[in-house]
Amino acid sequence: MSQLDDNGTVPPVGEEIHMPAPSILPLVNAAALSCTIVCVTLSWYLVAVFGIVFLLTTIRWVADTRRDISQLPLDHSSH
C-alpha cells in the first residue's frame, strides 16, 4: 500500500545518492605528500616544491568539496 503525500503523489523510493565528480586531485595530493616525505633525505628544495604542490592541491580539494556540499538540498523531508 503506497502512502500519498499532500499533493496526492507517491514520494520517490529510497534516497538520491550524491557522488562527487571524478577528480585527479586526490592522486596528485597523495603523490605530492609522498614525494615531500621522501625528499626530506634528498633536498630541501624538493621538499619545498612538493610541499607547495601538496598545499595547493589540498586547498583546491577542500574548496571543491565545499562547493559540492553547498549544492546539496537542505530539505530532507522527502527522504
Task: Let me know if residue 78 belongs to a domain.
Answer: no
Task: Let me know if residue 2 belongs to a domain.
Answer: no
Which domain does 62 fall in, by range? 25-67
* 22-31 tens-digit pLDDT: 899 999 999 9
pLDDT higher than threshold 60 for residue 79: no
Task: Let me know if residue 38 belongs to a domain.
Answer: yes
Task: Let me know if residue 11 belongs to a domain.
Answer: no
CB 11 within 8 A of CB 5: yes
Question: Residue 12's pLDDT is what?
Answer: 66
Sequential DSSP letters for 26-60: HHHHHHHHHHHHHHTTT-HHHHHHHHHHHHHHHHH
Q: Looking at the 3D structure of the chain, how many domains does it have?
A: 1
Length of the chain: 79
